[in-house]
Amino acid sequence: LFRTFTASDRIDVLRVHDVSKAQAVQRAGRAGREAPGKCYRLYPASHFEKLDNASIPEILRSNLAAALGAAEIRKKEMVLTPIGTTLCRFPLSPDHARVLMVANELGCLEEALTVVAAMSCETVFDLDGSRDDSDMDRVRARFSNSVSDHLTVLNVVQAFKQEKQRSGHHLKEWCVHNCLNYKNLMMVLKTRKQLRETAQECGMQFASCGAQREKVRQALACGLFLNVCEYDRQEDRYRLLVRPGTTLKIHPSSRLCRSRPRHLVFTDLMRTSDLYARDVSIIDYEWVQPVIEEYRRNVKSYV
C-alpha cells in the first residue's frame, strides 16, 4: 500500500500494488542473511513473470509542486512574475503559499499562518483508535467550527498554544484528554514559526482578523481555487468548478460530511473506496468567482 499522486487529477491515491521483480529478489535475499533460511513466495511462478521489472521511482509518483523554483531558471524568456517569486520563497506548494499572500491582503495573516502550517503537517487529532467515536466526537466538539474544518484546526492549535503557555508540564496529558496528537501539534507550531519568518522576509503584515474569520475562508478559497466545488443536487455529489467532470464526496472525518453546502473548498483529495475531499470549508462563490473566471480565460488562451 503506497501513495501515488496523479498529476492529471491532482489526486493522492492509496492503492495496493504488487511488488516488482527487483523488490521480490531483494526480499528473498534476506532469507539466510542472519542464519540458514529459505524464501517461499505465496504466488505461482507465472504471476512472478507478470510483475514489473522495477517499481516506479517515488519522484514519478509524487507531487513536485513544492519544488518549483528550487532549480535556477537560466533562460531569459522564462522569468518569474513578482507573485511567482514570492511563492517560491515559501517551503510550500504554490497554492498553499498563495493562501498566505491573499491572507496578507485581507488582514488575516496570523490565522492563515496557523491554518497553512496545519495543512502542511499530519492531522492534529489522535487517530490511534483507543477511544470510541462518540467519546472523540464529544471531546472534539469543544473546538468545532460549524462551517470549516480549517477553522476547527485553528481553534485546536490556538487552545494548544494557550495551554502550553499556562501549564507546559501537563501538555501531553491535556492532549490525551482532548484526543489530540502532541507530536503533530508541536510540528505545526514549528512549521508556523518557519513560515512566519519567511513572511517577514517578504515584508508581509502580521494582522489578525479577530472574530471576522470569514476572511480566512476567503483566503483559502482564493488560494485553493482549483479545489473549489459546487454541490450537484441530482447526483448528491460535489463537482469541481475548474474540472466539472470530476465529482467527489466530503470525507467522513469532516464535521461537514452530513451537510450539503452549495460551495466549498478543500485541502486535498483522497481516493479510497470513493473520491473524497478532506478538510473542507464552506465558502461564498462571490469570493472566488473573479479568480476562477481569470483562470478559465488563461487556460482557454493556451489551448
pLDDT tens-digit map of 277-301: 999 999 999 999 999 999 988 876 5
Identify whether the C-beta of residue 275 lies closer than 8 Å to the C-beta of residue 247.
yes
Same domain, yes or no: 211 and 104: yes
Check whether residue 237 and residue 213 sit in a common domain: no
In terms of residue numbers, what domain contains 290? 226-302
Q: Which of 30-39, 71-80, 131-140, 219-228 has the lowest mean pLDDT?
A: 71-80
pLDDT of residue 302: 43
The answer to whether residue 195 scores a pLDDT higher than 50 is yes
Residues 119 and 202 in one domain: yes
Q: pTM of this prediction?
A: 0.80
Please indicate, yes or no, if residue 268 is contained in any of the structural domains: yes
- Residues 199 and 282 grouped into a single domain: no
Residues 212 and 97 occupy one common structural domain:
yes
**pLDDT value of position 19:** 87
pLDDT at 60: 73
CA distance 251 to 100: 25
| φ and ψ of 242, to 5 deg | -85, -10
Q: What are the angstrom distances between the C-alpha of 198 and each of 61, 194, 208, 209, 276?
A: 28, 6, 17, 20, 32
Let me know whether 183 and 272 are in one domain: no
DSSP-derived pairing of the beta strands 11-15 and 263-271? parallel
* Boundary-marking domain end, from 167, 186, 218: 218
Among 218, 235, 267, residue at a domain's last position: 218
Please name the residues in contact with 136: beta carbons below 8 A apart, sequence gap of 6 or more: 125, 179
Q: Does residue 30 lie within any of the structural domains?
A: no
Does one domain contain both 210 and 230?
A: no
| Nearest CA-CA partner of 196 in 269, 92, 291, 277 | 92
The residue type found at 220 is L
261 lies in some domain: yes
Q: What's the number of domains the chain is made of? A: 2
